[in-house]
Structure 1
Amino acid sequence: MARPPLLSLQDISLTFGGTPLLEEASLQVGPGERIALVGRNGSGKSTLLKIAAGIIAFDSGRRFMQPDATVRYLAQEPDLSAYPSIEAYVQTGLGPGDDPHAGRIILEGLGLDPDAPTTNLSGGETRRAALAHTLAPDPDVVLLDEPTNHLDIAAIRWLEELLKARRKALVLISHDRRFLETLSTAVVWLDRGRTQRMDRGFAEFEDWRDALIASEEEERRRLDKKIEQEQEWLRYGVTARRKRNMGRLRNLQALRQEKRDQRKQTGLADMQIASAERSGKRLIVADKLQKSFGDRAISKDLSLTIMRGDRLGLVGPNGAGKTTLINLLLGRLAPDAGTVKFGVDLKPILLDQRREGLDPNMPLRQAISPSGGDQITIGSVTKHVAGYLKDFLFTPEQFNTPVGALSGGERARVLLGRAFAMESNILVLDEPTNDLDLETLDLLAEVIGDYDGTLLLVSHDRDFIDRTVTTTLVAEGDGTWGEYPGGYSDMLAQRGEGPSELLVEAREKAVKKDAPASAPKPAQKRNKLSFREKHDLETLPARIETLEGEIAKLSDQLADPSLYAKDKKRFDTLTKDLTAKQAERDAAEERWLELEMKREELEAG
């Protein structure tokens, strides 16, 4: 027999400014359940969670909580100014029977010094303190809204392990796909004000959601057909049988009203990136790069070459200097020693995690346009600002809204829209995933995959790193950086270390500057190809065949003995293209041969 829920929301409805936000939404939280609450930005997830916490009122419906159950909600922006230390703030959340040491243990696990004063804390530190304040009492139900924001990967992994070990009920809102997959046992999907539940983990959510959407589309098509049939009857049958068929006419009117009332699926943002002229083959060459702030080393003798088309991800704990290293590589900050050389025609675009490029008083329609005009050109396509804003899911009513009045996710979309409209051949994304919903993250990953320039990415989102980068640069502590082919998962496989051990050690070196550097553990031999290697092995033959065809066509055109005399410019262009295609084919063949040999060795071993 199923145990009664600890917390229950039934048929919750809430309207803001005349627009329904929640319409008969429900949420049942049983003992030990870990529920992922998912939905698009602006769908009302945070509002529903606050209703569950008893923080805000609702128009209609019912909230029930077991009398002896304890529920804690993660505060978004707590005020710690009244407390002498972080631990003193966390202790205020403990009850008489709670473990007095729990707060200190959690703070240290999240990378905070419990004895640190509350003055001058960063936003991330304040957020982690609030998380410790919420979790220290070990409540029966924990309500967490984006708990991984401002956490580094080590802290995220530590938090995952803590929440799994506790076996207490959890309702979780997060954009971190890997975090949701690891923790959730059920999913509640909030869509167009209503909730639907799946009693399986988030890993199965998208297939389930897509099946529901397909079923809804089929129902919409049936409704359209029925309306068409009723309209046909209305045109030709109502006059002769007016009295007898007034009920059918009313039924048609009801069908039309049902059609109007249907709230269609919110669309996906239509993202494109404007590419500049191709840069040189070598974009950035760093040689023995050194940078320190006092006794805090950011880089010690780092040598790194970034080639055209590279996808480089920077991974490391907060405080390791990832953003500083980006600024060194872009020439925005001078090194203490060593050199950084740049290729020709570099056009970088930087998306700053702090949203500093946005004037909070500027209207949205001006903020998204780099030139400030009414037209935006992306590559060879020119769009009106209004149409471009719609591509990024902004409504006409928002066009003149000041940027400061937008949500965090909306401001992130503004920055993406403005950055993508600028010509670039190096795209620099510093924590781009903050505040974006899962669907927009999926689309952003696809757009980055289609971008023909070079990517520098700083992120703590493990899934996003795996899907977008081909090389991972890891902060290993004390100013040292390790370079590994592939994404985050590939890096862990090559290191042969668990993620918690690797990244917690690096964080401790970043925070405790006098800690001695330890030698990296020897990498364990892998017994299978990485995902990236398997993908390359499968797709390279087709790519090589395509290149061979392109080379043959170029060779045929250059075989014309009169071409040089007739059109020297075209001859030069074709010659340059042929050389580039041959070099690309040779590199692809070499890569495929290397992977094929590796596959044979692994299978034989």
Structure 2
Amino acid sequence: MAGLKPLLQNASLTLHPGQKIGLIGQNGAGKSTLLKAILNEVSLEAGNIAMPDTWQVGYVEQEQTHLSFSAMEYVTTGDTLYAEARTRIDQAELNNDHDALVASYDELDRISGYEVPQKAQQLLYGLGFSEAEFNKPVESFSGGWQVRLKLARALMQRADLLLLDEPTNHLDIEAVSWLIQWLKGFSGAVIVISHDRHFLDEVVQGIAHLDQGKIQYYSGNFAAFERQRNEQLMQQQALHDKQKQQMQHLKSFIERFKAKASKAKQAQSRVKALERIESVAAVQASNPFQFHFAEPEHLPDPMLFSDALSFGYEDHLILKDVDLTLRAGDRIGLVGVNGSGKTTLLKLLIKENPPKSGKLVHSKGLKIGYFAQHQLESLNLDQSPLAHMLSLTKEDMERVTDQEARDFLGQFGFSHDKTLNPIKHFSGGEKARLSLALMVYQKPNLIILDEPTNHLDMETRDALEMALQEFSGALILVTHDQHLLTSIVDQFWWVHDQRVERYHGDLDAYLQQRLRLLKEKQAQIKAEKSTRPGNISDTSNASSANKKAQRQQNAHYRKQLKEATRDQSKRLAKVEKQLSDAQKQLADLHAEMEDATLYEANRSKELKDILKQEAQLKVLIESLEDEWLLLEDEIEEITNSFSEV
């Protein structure tokens, strides 16, 4: 498939309704090409991809379209049935065609189109947009926020199968947490390419590993994949020996830290890493990337501090009165929604941006290694990795020799031939690895990383994690990769409302707080939608003298309404119970269908019975949903008639 050398050969994969699969493999293994093949965007040289004719496939558009649309309009029209119904309504109104207008509104009602704008609002809120941005044109947003809009538009699709390629890139950790919850509630099937192990652990029930032109399927989440893969690799004695060396190195490092009471807390993340490496060390040992941060020659304490530090542009203040102290050995995770000022703070700390007021003091001997995505753009595209390495000269650093540079770059996956190629032909992941290599070589005692895992494949992420675990200097990390945060950092700085303050709690507590705020906002949207002008319960303008009479009138109204809707309410409660039971039975069936052995020849009768039950349940659920909607409409109609009295 694609190119002179086949990316995949005799590869097969089976996906069942409702199943969520993570697609992993090294960069260039063919993951994105496989998704394009499912979408018929690339042709197959052999074999076929089959799916039910009725299935709708949802995906994120590659090109940015409809730039003049508002964010809200762009997202809602991702629901193609809704978009078509709205187009027919607009055309009928233009033609003054009453019959066509009635028919179009009936169609909008049939597809529950009135709920679409509310769903779009919830998606936009979940992905970090404010209400003030809903009516802004798509073209007014930056590239990263346009990617979020494309993701929201994809999630609006009524898809039986959703294809996602690195959906967490360009998201902050709060939006990733929300997306995880959304995908957990999505009833369709999902194939997702991701290098974010926490995201995969939470979302998928199977891993498809692309390796050497084949697809190997592993049941369970990413942690289960690592355990199964580890068992395979542990059979190779050489890897087993390498694993023991890694574990011993990490154990000695932890013991050294634990011996110092002041460093006991910093050792905790290393303890977590050791627990993990004991179960997946063989996978790590097979990693082609192995690098280490040099032991800092000097660790000033404190490393830096700020006093009443403020920054902004003209009348727009981003950070105000920031007081921080970074101690030697601190491992800081920087959290806060995109746009809160995290990157601005980092640029202040490295003195790339001058403060508007206040002061920042770097201690003598501080040596900062800074990695950010925009640094990839500053690389000389016409130079090779070797030329970049040879150009590293500092007063306190000896000039690197040609062979030393080649050997060092080899740790980051650059072969001797690759070290001579101009980097303009490199992928984003290769450029990121080169930037990391240049930073590591300069032996910093403070490492500042701003979204380091974008463009990095799983192997490079793992190598970076191991190197950071061993690093004894200070660290400040911004990332949407929850696994990396929880395994590396010990404390969090929260950037919000122009302030930076210590967050007293772990990452789970912080994300739960953010999700709770989002749910409250979404509940508010529902409440505002259900509130109607003139409702008899609206007593905001009633005088204090009439409040008692108003309450009595409301009580009388509620009693009449309750009596009028008693039969519908009883039937509605019964239907809701039946619907809940049927949905649970269907979910249990789908769980059974994830068992790969179910599709073996000796279980064909059992599979046939399960598929029959699935079809019957789907018909029942559809019927119950129709009845539920009908009862809701009846209750709403009665309520409206009372409100008009």
TM-score range, shorter chain: 0.5 to 0.7
Aligned CA distance change for structure 1 residues 208 and 94 (closer, same or farther; 3 Å)? same
Q: CA deviation at 1:377?
A: 7.5
Q: CA deviation at 1:365?
A: 2.9
Q: CA deviation at 1:396?
A: 4.2
Q: CA deviation at 1:502?
A: 5.9
In terms of fraction of residues, the more strand-rich structure is 1
For 2:447 and 2:11, the matched residues in 1 are separated by 41
Aligned CA distance change for structure 1 residues 122 and 439 (closer, same or farther; 3 Å)? same
Q: 1:44 aligns to what? A: 30
Q: CA deviation at 1:387?
A: 2.8
Q: 1:180 aligns to what? A: 200
Contact 1:465 1:487 in 2 (8 A): no
Deviations 1:405-462 (A, max 9, x none): 2222111111111111113211111111112122321221111121232212111211
For 2:365 and 2:406, the matched residues in 1 are separated by 31
Deviates more, 1:143-152 or 1:158-167: 158-167
Q: 2:301 aligns to what? A: 281
Q: 1:268 aligns to what? A: 288
If the length of structure 1 is used for normalisation, what is the TM-score?
0.67
Tell me if 1:111 matches 2:98. Answer: no
Q: CA deviation at 1:295?
A: 5.5
Aligned counterpart in structure 1 of residue 150 of structure 2, from 130, 146, 162: 130
Q: 2:321 aligns to what? A: 301
Q: 2:507 aligns to what? A: 488
Alignment-mate amino acid for residue 461 of structure 1:
D
Q: CA deviation at 1:217?
A: 7.5
For 2:460 and 2:181, the matched residues in 1 are separated by 27
If the length of structure 2 is used for normalisation, what is the TM-score?
0.63
Deviations 1:123-154 (A, max 9, x none): 21121111112111230000000001011122
Contact 2:305 2:326 in 1 (8 A): yes
Deviations 1:454-486 (A, max 9, x none): 2121112111111111221012x3112221468
What SS is found at the alignment partner of 1:474? Answer: strand
Q: 1:237 aligns to what? A: none
Aligned CA distance change for structure 1 residues 267 and 157 (closer, same or farther; 3 Å)? closer
Q: 2:57 aligns to what? A: 71
**Which structure 2 residues correspond to residues 224-243 of structure 1 after superposition, within 5 A?**
none
Aligned counterpart in structure 1 of residue 420 of structure 2, from 384, 393, 400: 400
Q: CA deviation at 1:321?
A: 0.6
Aligned counterpart in structure 2 of residue 94 of structure 1, from 67, 79, 86: 79
Contact 2:449 2:478 in 1 (8 A): yes
Q: CA deviation at 1:34?
A: 0.7
Alignment-mate amino acid for residue 39 of structure 2:
A
For 2:208 and 2:162, the matched residues in 1 are separated by 16
Contact 1:284 1:341 in 2 (8 A): yes
Aligned counterpart in structure 2 of residue 362 of structure 1, from 351, 367, 383: 383
Deviations 1:328-357 (A, max 9, x none): 222222222322112111111211222233
For 1:351 and 1:158, the matched residues in 2 are separated by 27
Residue identity over aligned pairs, in percent, reads: 33
Deviations 1:498-524 (A, max 9, x none): 342368999xxxxxxxxxxxxxxxxxx
Contact 1:273 1:378 in 2 (8 A): no
Contact 2:393 2:399 in 1 (8 A): no
Contact 1:74 1:143 in 2 (8 A): yes
Deviations 1:505-559 (A, max 9, x none): 99xxxxxxxxxxxxxxxxxxxxxxxxxxxxxxxxxxxxxxxxxxxxxxxxxxxxx
Alignment-mate amino acid for residue 217 of structure 2:
R
Q: CA deviation at 1:497?
A: 4.9
Tell me if 1:206 matches 2:231. Answer: no
Aligned counterpart in structure 2 of residue 448 of structure 1, from 447, 464, 468: 468
Aligned counterpart in structure 1 of residue 70 of structure 2, from 62, 65, 85: 85
Aligned counterpart in structure 2 of residue 314 of structure 1, from 318, 322, 334: 334
For 1:55 and 1:215, the matched residues in 2 are separated by 40
What SS is found at the alignment partner of 1:22? Answer: coil
For 1:126 and 1:287, the matched residues in 2 are separated by 36
For 2:211 and 2:511, the matched residues in 1 are separated by 41
Contact 1:317 1:503 in 2 (8 A): no
Alignment-mate amino acid for residue 472 of structure 1:
F
What SS is found at the alignment partner of 1:172? Answer: strand
Aligned counterpart in structure 1 of residue 3 of structure 2, from 16, 38, 41: 16
What SS is found at the alignment partner of 1:59? Answer: coil
For 1:70 and 1:478, the matched residues in 2 are separated by 42
What SS is found at the alignment partner of 1:331? Answer: coil
Deviates more, 1:206-215 or 1:424-433: 206-215
Deviations 1:162-212 (A, max 9, x none): 111122110111122211111111111111111111221223110111122
**Which structure 2 residues correspond to residues 580-595 of structure 1 after superposition, within 5 A?**
none
Alignment-mate amino acid for residue 3 of structure 2:
F
Tell me if 1:479 matches 2:464. Answer: no
For 2:479 and 2:410, the matched residues in 1 are separated by 27
Q: CA deviation at 1:301?
A: 2.4
Alignment-mate amino acid for residue 188 of structure 2:
K
For 1:426 and 1:294, the matched residues in 2 are separated by 31
Aligned counterpart in structure 1 of residue 487 of structure 2, from 462, 467, 474: 467
Q: CA deviation at 1:378?
A: 11
Contact 2:125 2:518 in 1 (8 A): no
Aligned CA distance change for structure 1 residues 330 and 218 (closer, same or farther; 3 Å)? closer
Deviates more, 1:134-143 or 1:435-444: 435-444
Q: 2:19 aligns to what? A: 33
What SS is found at the alignment partner of 1:483? Answer: strand
For 1:49 and 1:420, the matched residues in 2 are separated by 35
Aligned CA distance change for structure 1 residues 59 and 396 (closer, same or farther; 3 Å)? farther
Q: 1:338 aligns to what? A: 358
Aligned CA distance change for structure 1 residues 427 and 383 (closer, same or farther; 3 Å)? farther
Deviations 1:79-104 (A, max 9, x none): 23653333343344322256442444
Aligned counterpart in structure 2 of residue 171 of structure 1, from 191, 198, 207: 191
Deviations 1:259-299 (A, max 9, x none): xxxxxx97421212245530322110112222233564432
Deviations 1:294-324 (A, max 9, x none): 5644323221111122111211111011111
Aligned CA distance change for structure 1 residues 372 and 334 (closer, same or farther; 3 Å)? closer
Tell me if 1:501 matches 2:516. Answer: yes
Contact 2:64 2:150 in 1 (8 A): no
Say what the alpha-carbon RMSD is for the aligned residues: 3.0
For 2:422 and 2:517, the matched residues in 1 are separated by 43
Q: CA deviation at 1:39?
A: 1.4
For 1:79 and 1:133, the matched residues in 2 are separated by 11
Aligned CA distance change for structure 1 residues 88 and 164 (closer, same or farther; 3 Å)? same
Unaligned runs of 5+ in 1: 1-13, 220-264, 507-605
